[in-house]
Structure 1
Amino acid sequence: MYHITAIAAFKDNYIWCLHHQHKAVLVDPGDAEVVHAFLTAHQLEPVAILVTHHHWDHVDGIPALQQHWPELAVYISAGERDKTKHQLKNCHIVSDAMQFAMKELQLTFNVLAVPGHTLGHVAYFCQLPEQEPVLFCGDTLFSGGCGRLFEGTHQQMYQSLQKINTLPSNTQIYCTHEYTLANLQFAHEVEPDNNAIVEYRVWCEAKRAVNLPTLPSSLDKERQMNPYLRCEMPALQQRWQQQNGSDLFRFLRLWKDRY
């Protein structure tokens, strides 16, 4: 059985730890201290770090972790590695459609280039044995929302979300921020008659009331209520007087930036 645990960091970040037996893979470890404490408490040995993009809250813990575990491999795209302020060691450069094996956990990861939030942003897809597939998508897709455009264009982000939307419907979505309730508030503005949003919001409020993550979500659930994955719907395009999915995405993302 493979386990994925959320390690809370900063105000609303989640550092994901995928572990099996005593081996672990870390995703976007921005804070070494909380990661080290978790690994020690659960007697886990990290074998690799997956980096989705270069922002500080996703990479700042890496140097200290590599100092403690010198053999720790880092998977990162070339563009994101070049933008980090750290000299990362033992880097394995990934790119779109690349596949790599992690023999310590007997897993294979597929890389998706998903530019938009940053230009070199990638996501990691993995079909866990006898479990649901998982996607570590950083700040590209959030539950009920998507990331801001700091470097890429609206068209790039739209295409990145379209790429994610082709994955199996039962894919578990592991994004890296607890933004769900704020995203659902906006989603309800976009589709006030969508009952899936209302029902999911009640469930998420109950989770947050006891300080539990609303994540992971599933791609199937996101297709039902995330406005950025519903831009191809003619009814939604008509409601907001947009000609096509790309135009609707741009309209919604600009609206959310001001919301």
Structure 2
Amino acid sequence: MNVRQFQYFEDNLGYLVYGKEDAIAVDGGAVDEILFFIKSKGLKLKYVVNTHTHPDHTSGNKSLIDKTGAVFISVDTLIMNKEIKLEGEKITIFHTPGHSDDSIVFYFDNILLTGDTLLNGKAGRCFTGDLKGFLRSIKHVMTFPENTLIYGGHNYVEEYMETAINIEPDNEYIDDYIEKYDPSHVYSTLEEELKVNPSLRFNDKKMISILKSRDLPTETEYDCWSSIVRIV
């Protein structure tokens, strides 16, 4: 399977997952660009799905369905079924509540479409208010192979790396991350995120020392996580 990234609105990122004939739109807000791409490739848009139901991610659903006849599969159905198939290949769905109650990620071919659960450079905002639940979701994402490609739901990389530098000015990996960053194709590996993303560094000794120096709670893993959420 292949994945194509589409940027829309000011900073949203949506995706087309496609094979030889069929395609799935994930957060397909870039309607015109997606329609042009599938026509140029001779593809049929089979499904329209979302990483969660915030309106900036679902904005393209109706137009794509009306213009292609694609089938809409709700987030609730994806959570229940735990997978979706494209040309016989399985895409696994994981429920990752935290940013929203219905947040999910899509995993296939060493690629993780993370929506707003994990953005490139920081975790998404916890609109549910359940930081403990969000930590469980983040820890689940962290269990994937380190060479997994992370494709998030927004491009805030420049802003997030400024934050990362302010927190960890001696982190030598941040410069490498910034140098690799391409605003026309936003992605990273999980290994890179583990090295620079403050939201994933709650068990790192250097990060814990920084939190202590700011008189922030560090007694438990959750304390470290919630302290990081406060400063990012």
Could you state the TM-score of these two structures normalised by the residue count of structure 2? 0.90
Contact persistence 1:53–1:76 (CA under 8 A) = no
1:22 is displaced (CA, Å) by: 2.7
Q: Are 1:155 and 2:139 matched, yes or no? A: no
Distance 1:73 1:135 in 2: 22
**Partner residue of 1:182 out of 159, 182, 185:** 159
What amino acid sits opposite 1:74 in the alignment? Answer: F
**Partner residue of 2:71 out of 70, 73, 77:** 73
**Partner residue of 1:192 out of 169, 193, 200:** 169
What amino acid sits opposite 1:164 in the alignment? Answer: V
Contact persistence 1:139–1:147 (CA under 8 A) = yes
* Alignment correspondent of 1:49: 48
Q: Are 1:226 and 2:225 matched, yes or no? A: no
What amino acid sits opposite 2:95 in the alignment? Answer: A
1:222 is displaced (CA, Å) by: 0.8
Contact persistence 2:14–2:29 (CA under 8 A) = yes
* Alignment correspondent of 1:134: 111
Worse-superposed segment, 51-60 or 147-156: 147-156
- Write out the 4+ residue segments of structure 1 that deviate beyond 6 Å after TM superposition: none
1:73 is displaced (CA, Å) by: 2.7
Q: Are 1:248 and 2:217 matched, yes or no? A: no
Distance 2:84 2:176 in 1: 39
**Partner residue of 2:83 out of 76, 88, 100:** 100
* Alignment correspondent of 1:6: 5
Aligned pairs for 1:164-183 (under 5 A) are: 164-183=141-160
Distance 2:106 2:34 in 1: 20
Contact persistence 1:232–1:244 (CA under 8 A) = no
Contact persistence 1:119–1:152 (CA under 8 A) = no
Could you tell me which runs of 5 or more consecutive residues in structure 2 were left unpaired when the two chains were aligned. 213-217
Distance 2:227 2:95 in 1: 23
For the aligned residue pairs, the C-alpha RMSD in angstroms reads 1.8
Distance 1:251 1:236 in 2: 10
**Partner residue of 1:238 out of 186, 209, 212:** 209
What amino acid sits opposite 2:49 in the alignment? Answer: L
DSSP-derived class of the 2:72 partner: strand
* Alignment correspondent of 2:15: 16
1:189 is displaced (CA, Å) by: 1.6
Contact persistence 1:9–1:34 (CA under 8 A) = no
1:101 is displaced (CA, Å) by: 4.3
Could you tell me which runs of 5 or more consecutive residues in structure 1 were left unpaired when the two chains were aligned. 79-92
Distance 2:210 2:63 in 1: 50
1:142 is displaced (CA, Å) by: 1.0
Worse-superposed segment, 163-172 or 16-25: 16-25
What amino acid sits opposite 2:198 in the alignment? Answer: P
Q: Are 1:113 and 2:95 matched, yes or no? A: yes
Contact persistence 1:47–1:73 (CA under 8 A) = yes
